[in-house]
Structure 1
Amino acid sequence: MASTIELVSSFIEGAPPGEPPYLTIDVQALTSDGDDILPSLAPAFARYNEGQLATVKLPGSSQEVIVSEFNRLEDNRYFDTESQTSFEMDHTTQTASNAQSSPLESQNADLIKSLLKSLAVHAKEHYPNCSYGVYPIENDSAVAILLVANRYSPNNFWNGRFRAIYQVPVSDSSSSVTGKIHVDVHYYEDGNVAMNTTKPVNLSINSVTAESIISRIATAERDYQEELNRAFVQMAEGAFKGLRRQLPITRQKVEWEKVGGYRLGQDISGGKGR
């Protein structure tokens, strides 16, 4: 039988966008350990934050930066290439502290800076509330390009998140962009409905330049958005429409001045009263 820590960890790692803070409160209330259980859950919170590209504000700044496996250092520290800052992360509370200067040290520094500039333009145009980052990976032989956009509306009982993770080898003049696009939405008014989609991406590029890479990424994200839109329309006109009860068709005009006296299912359908 799974232990309490294993069970609660699975809940944390499967939490919908924007809801771990509420989950922490629930865990403390539902388990007999209360606050004492939280230190044991730190690894689960770390896996969730890195996998979901959690964002945190740097101390003394309004800028939100990404937490991921690609910009992880040691001892719960992470770095941000754009601000050239490293920081300590409290995964349970999702807060950053102890920020320090962290100059970008990479043989691909010029490419990373160019990618950040082009990515900022792309993000501002298409994602009003988002964070992004570009990081050297695989012993500086490739770069990771991350973008996450969150939209939370708890008053309307829904939250959503868009994540895009790309990797680009930089050792060859002609290469490709590989990665995945994730869209997660949770709607929970009088129910519990979730949509979790993943789109693998494999794009060829003619040259390893910021303009070429971001242009191909922008096209892939636009195409996927259009694909989702078509799927929603088909679902509304197909599966969802089939679930709705159809009203009777009488082929008769409604006498609106008498609508207050209609008896639903009898007069409207042309039936006679008993």
Structure 2
Amino acid sequence: MSRTAALSSFVESAPPGELADVTKAIKSILGDDSSVQGDLTPAFEKYNEEQFATVKLPGGSGEVLISEYNNLGDGRYYDVESQSSFAFDHATQKSSGVQSYVLESSHSDLVKSLVKSLSIHTSEHYPKSSLGVYPTEDDSQLAIITVANKYSPSNYWNGRWRSQYIFSPSSGSLTGTIKVDVHYYEDGNVRLLTNKAINVSVGAGAGASEIVRQIANAEKRYQEDLNKAFGSLSEGAFKSLRRQLPITRQKIEWEKISGYRLGQDIGGGRSR
């Protein structure tokens, strides 16, 4: 594997909210190598589009997202709600050069209605989220995207919810995926990666409210399934790995573990 390929794999697998940390680590390892930034540009672009990176536009109030569906080429993207296009630096995740942009699509009215209905749904179910609705390249389908990030580096965890659907107005089909990515790294390194396929029939000519209702139902069911899975892990697989508390029923002070006498202090027995 070449150096560029190896470094690109690090970038593309960066956990939520930790791309800057990964980039900083790469630079600290390689030193002042000016060629690295240029070599990794495709990896940064792939990461930002696949992870639905969000950015605040100059003078804007909310964050807009980056994806392959709103890519105009030459490093520029557009946002339907603000009716603007902008340049995006994939390495720094900064925006600039905002210009007016009017969407040209045979589904423009449905796009606007979906943005409005989806905004209501996301505001009710996610503490902080960004969304986008974009016509596909041939204008035959619509991409409906939601990303919700929650970062808590002070508590050593970060998480991201991504949902992506393709709606076909002619057939009424709605297909897509829901992905959850959570990284917990306090005194360890644990990462949850899920991928749930969605396939429902909304009906040809369905309105925005019905489309979003189907999306809301699918996401609610998946959230409930995740909660059940976590509960079964806690009471099943994780519990069988080790006892939750030692026999003394007191929590172990791990920073003092080297000073414990296994038989007496942890097991409750007597030392000889």
Give the TM-score of the pair, scaled to structure 1: 0.89
Indicate yes or no: 2:215 matched with 1:217. Answer: yes
Indicate yes or no: 2:181 matched with 1:184. Answer: yes
**Which consecutive unaligned segments of at least 5 residues does structure 2 have?**
249-260
CA–CA distance in structure 2, aligned partners of residues 237 and 271 of structure 1? 28
Question: Residue 244 of structure 1 aligns to which amino acid in structure 2?
Answer: R
Q: Taking structure 1 as reference, are residues 33 and 222 closer, same or farther at Cα in structure 2, changes over 3 Å only?
A: same
Please state how far the C-alpha of 1:151 moved relative to its aligned partner: 0.3
Please state how far the C-alpha of 1:264 moved relative to its aligned partner: 9.1
CA–CA distance in structure 1, aligned partners of residues 176 and 26 of structure 2? 34
Please state how far the C-alpha of 1:46 moved relative to its aligned partner: 0.1
Q: Tell me if the contact between 1:27 and 1:34 (Cα under 8 Å) persists in the aligned partners.
A: no
Q: How does 1:7-22 map to 2 (within 5 A)?
A: 7-22=6-21
Please state how far the C-alpha of 1:136 moved relative to its aligned partner: 0.7
Q: Which one of the candidate residues 199, 204, 222 is aligned to 1:202?
A: 199
Please state how far the C-alpha of 1:270 moved relative to its aligned partner: 8.4
Root-mean-square deviation (CA, aligned residues, Å) is 2.0
Please state how far the C-alpha of 1:248 moved relative to its aligned partner: 4.6
User: Which deviations, in whole Å up to 9, do the C-alpha atoms of 1:21-70 show, x marking residues without a partner?
Assistant: 11111111101453431121111000000000000011121320010001
Indicate yes or no: 2:142 matched with 1:140. Answer: no
Q: How does 1:1-274 map to 2 (within 5 A)?
A: 2-172=1-171, 175-206=172-203, 207-245=205-243, 247-248=246-247
Q: Secondary structure at 1:104's aligned position in 2?
A: coil
Please state how far the C-alpha of 1:116 moved relative to its aligned partner: 0.5
CA–CA distance in structure 2, aligned partners of residues 268 and 71 of structure 1? 58
Q: Taking structure 1 as reference, are residues 234 and 98 closer, same or farther at Cα in structure 2, changes over 3 Å only?
A: same
Q: 1:252 matched to which residue of 2?
A: none
Question: Residue 208 of structure 2 aligns to which amino acid in structure 1?
Answer: A
Which shows bigger deviation, 131-140 or 220-229? 131-140
CA–CA distance in structure 2, aligned partners of residues 5 and 190 of structure 1? 30
**Which consecutive unaligned segments of at least 5 residues does structure 1 have?**
250-262
User: Which deviations, in whole Å up to 9, do the C-alpha atoms of 1:158-216 show, x marking residues without a partner?
Assistant: 000000000001124xx111000000000011111100000000011134210110000
Which shows bigger deviation, 157-166 or 26-35? 26-35
CA–CA distance in structure 1, aligned partners of residues 265 and 59 of structure 2? 68
Give the TM-score of the pair, scaled to structure 2: 0.89
**Greater C-alpha Rg:** 1
